[in-house]
Each structure stands twice: as C-alpha cells, then as structure tokens.
Structure 1
Amino acid sequence: MTYPETVEYLFSRLPMFSRIGADAFKKDLTNTYRLCEALGNPQQHIKMVHIAGTNGKGSTSHMLAAILQEAGYKTGLYTSPHLKDFRERIKINGEWCDEAFVVDFTRRIQPYIDSVEPSFFEITVAMAFDYFAQQKVDIAVIETGLGGRLDSTNIITPELSVITNIGMDHMNMLGDTLTLIAEEKAGIIKKNIPVVIGEAIAETRPVFETTANALEAPIIFAQECRYVTDWKYQAHHLHVEVADRKQDTHHIYELDLPGIYQRHNLLTVLEAAHQLQLQGWNIGREIVHKALKQVKRSTGLHGRWEIVREQPLVVLDVAHNADGIKQVREQLEYTDYHHLHIVIGMVKDKDVEQVLEHLPQHASYYFTRAQLPRAMDALALQELAAAHQLHGEAYATVELAVREALTRAHEKDMILVCGSVFVVAEVSL
C-alpha cells in the first residue's frame, strides 16, 4: 500500500474516537499490551515523560519536548489528535515520522488487527512506541489521549508523570464529578515515580495525594513551587515573570505561545523540567529560556491562540470545553479589535450548553460542523446558541463559514475559530 492508502486503511478499518466517539474507547489495556508484545515491547526500551490533564496537556507536552530538544536530546513526542496529517502525532525533534515507516508498521501489524481488533488509538500508540524505539530516542514525551487509567498510553513506566489540571470534559466516559475525573487522570501515577500536579483544587488534591501516597510516588504541586508575579501580552508573544517560592528569585520567560492561559502551563513545565534536572537530565535555565521562545518552530505546535492572519485578525484555538472557552474569553479581553466574529462547531458528546454559556453575546456567529460523524449539526448548534443570546447563520462546512466571516469582517475586526480540534483542522488560509 502507498502512504495515502495506508492512512485510509487505518481510518476506515479501525474504530476511531475522533470520528465515532465513545464506541471506539476500549476500557482496558489488553489490546495495547498484546500489540506491543508482538512488537517486542518497544515501550520498555524508551525513557519517557507521561502527561495527562483536561486542558493544557498538549501545550505542556510541546513545551517540555522543546526544552529537551534544546538541551540536545533526541526527543520523541506523541500527541493526539492530528490537525492536517496523521504523522503529526509521532515526531522526533519536531519532524514527523516517515511515511515509509507508517506503511511498513501497518504491514507488519496487519495480521494482529483481525485477531486483536484494536482501536485506531491503540494502533497509533503502539506505532509511536515502535518508532521511538527504532530511532533510539533519548527520551519521549507521551500525551494521554483520554483520561489516564485506561488510556492506551498507560502501559509505560515513565521517568516522570505530569497531570496539568482537572475539568469537566468527557463526563460520559470519565465520570460526572471533578473527583471521579481526577481518579481517572491519577491512574498514570506509578510506583516510586515522581508526579507533578499543575493545578489542584479542593476536590482533586486529596485524590492525587491518596494515589501518590499509596504508590510511594513523590508528589509535587507546581503552584507550591513557583507563582506568576506579572505578565504582559506583547507583539503576539507572552512575557511572564515567575517567582521561585524557595529561592526568592524572579525570572522572566518569553513564550511564542501567546495564549495568556499558557502562564498556568508554564508553571507546570518549569517544575517538570526541574524534576528531570534533579534526575540528571542536563536542563539549565538558559536552555529553558531559549526553548520557550521557539516552541512552535521546534515542535510544530498549532491551534493554541494561533494567529494566521493580521487584517482582519484571524485566530485559531482548539478550546472545546467550558474551561477552555473561559480561558479564550479572558484572552479576548486583552485583544484589540473593532468587532468580533466567531466561527464555531462542536462535537455532540461535549457539554455544549456549558460552552455556550461562556461565549460573548456581542459577537457575530457562524455556526458550522467538521466533516465527521461526531460533529454536531450546525442548525442544531445555532438553535441551542440562540437560547443563550448568541446569534448568527449556519453553514454546512467550515470553509464556507470562514469564507463568509472573511467577507463580512473589516480589517480591524477579529475572527476567532474555536469549539473543536476538528473545526480548526479544516481551516485553510
């Protein structure tokens, strides 16, 4: 098979969460263990960092990978979902995995697909581990797909575990309270392996502490190590002043990820890098400073308050749940524009009403849908939004919605595309 034929085979043959939702989620790790065993257990030959969380795990993964790359380490990075090309999920030093490898891996694993009946995600996890082992990476940053305890990535024993935060998302699979969701995310904590908690609140902190204590895993709360004293958003870069609680020192970090919500992720990343340094990884402060200025260039991260056009200002953000939209709403308050246009589409299994509650009423809306079965009908979204005083037209495709927004927007206006990774992925500008 050619590379396009191989990818089409993987998309069509295997249950894919991004397309069909919960039916593709396997509630145990048996398939992943069987696949990796057939491959010679590549995950046992790689040093890794494991990252989970409701929001921010993608940004945190990319920032940490950028730091390790800058330190001179051959760094693997596994994330999901992809925006444009399947190979975005599996990178080494910012470079996508080879097309030839994807074809060869699929050929080798094909006999097991009929017997194991894995999901798309289970196959991609095994593929990533196999690629990183073949390429002899020094370390790999592994982002969970969904939850933690039963996520396919959770067959590894990492150097460090990281949990960014807990919010209300995927409640139909992870539980309908913050405590239950935290219990699922805490499933990545391993015996005697340090875990960094990015943000903890009254409902979630006891969950993390109980799990870590039971596993004798050192637990570090990032917010207790450092805090943000000041920040400014300037020339599409974020400048954050951070104070160290123990040493009483202050440092200013410049991030090329301009979303002001990155100041929370920054504290998590700094502590994760510090913990790796304590383990012997060569990560000096100058390396961290330099890496954070060029995360997008180093790792190819997209869709996090990504500015793709200036006049009118067009911003892409993959925010898709209430917490993510609240962060976007905060960023809008610091952004200059005359009138706001919002292109939005969502998937049916999200808490759509919660998202709509946090969107600004003064904007012009363009309701749309990504081209996948999970996508919510644009007319249904338009109707729900109207009950929240959010008004606009419905469009059959993302392309049509964006084109109409560009037609109506003046040069000092702003167009925000959000609501779903899959909507952002279909924007072509």
Structure 2
Amino acid sequence: MNYQETLDYLYQSLPMFQRVGQSAFKKDLTNTLALCKYLGNPERKFRSIHVAGTNGKGSTSHSLAAVLQAAGYKVGLYTSPHLKEFTERIRINGQEVSEDFVVNFVGNHQVFIEQLKPSFFELTVGMAFEAFAQEAVDIAVIEVGMGGRLDSTNVIDPILSVITSIGYDHMAFLGDTLPAIAGEKAGIIKYQRPVVISLDQPEVREVFDQKASMMQSDIYHAIDFFEVQKTGQENGFSKYQVFDKQNVLQLKELVFGLNGNYQRMNLPGILTACYLLQKLGYNISLESIQHGLAEVVHLTGLKGRWQVLQNQPIMICDTGHNEAGIKEVLAQLDTYQYHKVHLVIGMVQDKDVKSVLMLLPKAANYYFCQAKIPRAMPAENLKVLAAEYELVGKAYQDVETAINAAKSEAQADDLIFIGGSTFVVAEIPDL
C-alpha cells in the first residue's frame, strides 16, 4: 500500500472516535497493552511527560515540547486529533513522522492489527511509541486523547504528569459533574510521580489531592508557584508579567507565541512543570524557557490556537469547542474593535450544543456549516436549533463555502471568526 491507501485502510478498517463517536470508545486498556507488548513495549524505552485536561492540554503539550527542544533535547510529541495531516499526531523535534514510517508500520504489523482489531486511536498511540523508541528521543510529551484513566496513552510511566483545566466535555464517557470528570483525569497520576495541577478549581482540588495522596505522589498546584497577567502584545505575540511566588524561576516578563487570552490559565502550569523538570535533572535555562515559549508555533508546528488568518477584514480561528472554551473565545472577541462580527460555526452532534448556543451573541451574522465527518451536526439542524436562541444565519453544506460567504459579506472593518469545532478549523483552506 502507498501512503494514501494506508490512510484509507486505517480510516475504513479501524473505528475512529473523531469520526464516528461512541462506537469507537474502548472502556479498558486491554488492546493498547496487547499492542505495546507485541511491539516490544516501546513505551518503556523513553522518558515521558503525560498531559491531561479538558481545555489547554494541547497548548501545554506543545509548549513543554518547545521548551525542551530549546534546551537542546530530542523531543517526541504525540497529540490528537490532527488538523490537516495524519502525521501531525507524531512529531520529533517539531518534524512530523514520514509517510514512509506510517506505511511501513501498518504494512509490517497488518496481520496482528487485523487480529487485535484496535481502535484508530489505540493504533496511533502504539505507532507513536514505536516512533519515539526507534528515534531514541530523550523525552516525549504525550497528550491524553480523552479523559485519562482509560485513555490509551495511560500505559506510560511518566516522570511528570500535568493536568490542565477541568470542564464539561465528553460527559457521556467521563461523568456529568466536575468532580467525576476530574476523577477520570486524575487517573494519569502515577505512583510516586509528581503531578502539576495547572488551574485552581476549588470544586475539584480535593479529587486531585486525594488521588495524589493515594499514589504517594507529590502534587504541585501551579497557583502556589506562579501568577501571570497579560500586559499586551509585542510583534504579534502575547506579553505577560510573571509573579514568581516562590522565587524558583526568577522570571518577571514573558513573551508567548500563543495568542489566546486563555493561555494565561495554561502558563502557570507550564512554568511549574519547567521548574519540576529542572528539579528532575533537566538542564533547562531561563533562556530556554523564554525562547521555547516565544517560538512554540515555529518549534512544534501548532495550529489553530487563536490564529489570525488575514486582515481587513480580520479573520481568526480557534479550536475552542466546549462551554468553557467558547466563553474564553467570546471574551477575547470583546477585546477587538470591529463594526460587525461574522461567526462561521459548526459543531458535532455528541457535544452539549445548547450550552454553547446559549452563550453566542444574538447580534452576529451566522454561517452554519458542517465538517466532513459523520459526527458533524448537519448545518441545517444547527441553524434550526440556533434559531431557538435567536441566532440567525444561513446553512452551508461545507466549511469552505461558509467561509467564502462570510468573506463576501464582511466589510474591511468587520471581524470573521471560524470555530465551534476542531474539525471545522481543520477544514479551513490553507491553514
């Protein structure tokens, strides 16, 4: 098989949660453990950092990888889902694995794959571990797919775990209260391995403290170490003042290459993790932290986080897709000066769509669309549901058509925002 045939085989043969939803979700780690054993347990051949959370885990994962790269380490990075190309999921020093690696991995192990019948995600996790072991990375940053306790990535024994914010998402799988969801995320806390909690949320703090105590793990609440305040922009980058509460990094000012205002909630956890990596023996200088965070997009290839796509009219995309994420998106939109706002919005059917629609501004022009995945809510259905919340617009059968419609109607002093789903952002042309 060539590369495209290999991808077609993966998409068609293996259940993929991003495309089909619940039917692809496995409630145990049996398949992942079996796959890793068959591959010779590659996950034991490199050190790792494990990152979970509802929002912020992707930005945090890329940021830690960038800092470690800036410090001179060979760094693996596993994230999901991909936006444009499958190979985005597996990177080494910011470079995606080759198409040949994907083809050879599937071809060499196809017989076992067809016997085991893993999910798409289970297979890609094993593929990532194999790539990192083959390339002998110094350390790999592994982002959880969903939850934590039962996520396929949770077969690693990381040197450090990081848990970002907890919010309402994937409630059919993780629970319908924040403590229940936090309990699933806390499943990545390993025996006698330190854990960083990025955001102080009183309603779930006890969940993490109890789990860490049970696992005899040192727990570091980032709020006890750092406070950050955004002070403005510098050459298109966000600029922050950092208050070091325990004098551990002596960092007063920071330029961050990720522009969403919500990054202020991720930075304390990222900085606390950097401090702990220093304690664990990693040679990470302040210069490495500053360079890595300023150049995170260039170093890791991260896309879709408050990304400005054009000016006049300004057009921005962001992958925020649940209630907490959309609240932050809307708060940042309020910081812009514009005549009229045009929202290109698509969502997936198994999300709490109504909780998001309740937040959206009634005065905006709407362009409802659907990504090319089975989970996508049909644009016409989204339009009808949105009308119940006095959100008025037209339905478009694909993302590109909706964007073109918004661009044709927007004036130079307007603002276009594209989002509602990672999969909508993924289909933006030339992203």
Query: In the alignment, is residue 397 of structure 1 matched against residue 398 of structure 2?
Result: yes
1:209 lines up with 2:243 in the alignment:
no
Normalised to the residue count of structure 2, the TM-score between the two structures is 0.98
Instruction: Structure 2 unaligned segments of length 5 or more: list them.
Output: none
Q: 2:323 — aligned with what?
A: 322
Structure 2 partner of 1:309: 310
CA contact (8 A) 1:166 1:178 kept: yes
**1:229: how far off?**
4.2
Stretches (4+) displaced over 4 A: none
Separation of aligned partners in 1, 2:233 and 2:359: 22
Is 1:97 aligned to residue 117 of structure 2? no
Worse-matched range after superposition: 46-55 or 255-264:
255-264
- In structure 2, the partner of 1:107 is 107
Deviation for aligned residue 1:323: 0.2
Across the aligned residues of Structure 1 and Structure 2, the Cα RMSD in angstroms comes to 1.1
In the alignment, structure 1 residue 80 sits paired with structure 2 residue 89: no
Identify the residue that residue 200 of structure 1 maps to in structure 2. 200
The answer (yes or no) to whether the contact 2:190–2:215 under 8 Å persists in 1 is yes
Structure-2 residue corresponding to 1:266: 267
Deviates more, 1:244-253 or 1:92-101: 244-253
For the pair 1:424 / 2:389, whether they are aligned, the reply is no
Deviation at 1:357, TM superposition (A): 1.4
Label 1:390 to 1:236 Cα distance change in 2 as closer, same or farther (>3 A): farther
Distance (Å, rounded) in 2 between the aligned partners of 1:386 and 1:234: 40
Structure 1 residue 310: deviation in Å?
Answer: 1.2
The answer as to whether partners of 1:382 and 1:392 remain within 8 angstroms in 2 is yes
Q: 2:167 corresponds to which residue?
A: 167
Give a deviation string over 1:120-143, Cα, whole Å, max 9, x none: 000000000000000000000000
- Counterpart of 1:247 in structure 2 is 247
The offset of 1:52, in angstroms, is 0.2
Matches of 1:398 and 1:254 in 2, distance apart? 33
Q: Which whole-Å CA distance do the structure 1 matches of 2:113 and 2:246 have between them?
A: 52
**Hey, what's the Cα distance between the residues in 2 that align with 1:60 and 1:425?**
20
Match of 1:365 in 2: 366
Distance in 2 separating the partners of 1:233 and 1:168: 31
Instruction: Give yes or no for contact 2:228–2:267 (8 Å, CA) kept in 1.
Output: no
**Displacement, 1:113?**
1.9
Amino acid at match of 1:71: A
Contact 1:319 1:421 in 2 (8 A): yes
1:59-93 C-alpha deviation (Å, 9 max, x unpaired): 00001100000000000000000001000000001
Partner of 1:386: 387
Q: Does the residue aligned with 1:253 lie in a helix, a strand or coil? A: strand
Alpha-carbon displacement from aligned partner over 1:226-265 (angstroms, at most 9, x marks no partner)? 1124522455321010101123955111111111111111
* Cα distance in 2 between the residues matched to 1:346 and 1:130: 33
C-alpha deviations, 1:203-223, integer Å up to 9, x for none? 211100010000000000001
Q: Secondary structure at the match of 2:343?
A: strand
2:160 and 2:194 in contact (8 A); partners too:
yes
Residues in 1 aligned to 2:39 and 2:91: alpha-carbon distance in whole angstroms:
19
Contact 2:229 2:264 in 1 (8 A): no
Change (3 A) 1:422 1:87: same
Q: Post-superposition shift, 1:336? A: 2.4
Report the secondary structure of 1:347's partner residue.
coil
Aligned-pair identity (%): 52
Q: In the alignment, residue 87 of structure 2 is paired with which amino acid?
A: R
Any residues of structure 2 matched to 1:17-416 within 5 Å, and which?
Answer: 17-247=17-247, 251-416=252-417
**Hey, what's the Cα distance between the residues in 2 that align with 1:365 and 1:80?**
28
Q: Secondary structure at the match of 2:203?
A: coil
SS in 2 for 1:203: helix
More off after superposition, 249-258 vs 90-99: 249-258
Separation of aligned partners in 1, 2:252 and 2:359:
33
Matched residue count: 429
Q: Which amino acid aligns with 2:48?
A: M
Does the CA contact (< 8 Å) of 2:234 and 2:255 recur in 1? no
Letter in 2 for 1:131: A
Question: 5+ unaligned residues in a row in structure 1: which ranges?
Answer: none
- Alpha-carbon displacement from aligned partner over 1:341-390 (angstroms, at most 9, x marks no partner): 00000000000011111212221100010011100011111111111121
The residue identity in structure 2 corresponding to 1:232 is G
Q: Distance in 2 between matches of 1:386 and 1:30?
A: 45
Report the Cα offset of residue 290 of structure 1: 1.1
In structure 2, what residue type is equivalent to 1:92?
I
Secondary structure of the residue aligned to 2:202 is: coil
Contact 2:230 2:264 in 1 (8 A): no
Provide the rounded CA distance (Å) in 2 between the counterparts of 1:245 and 1:325: 30
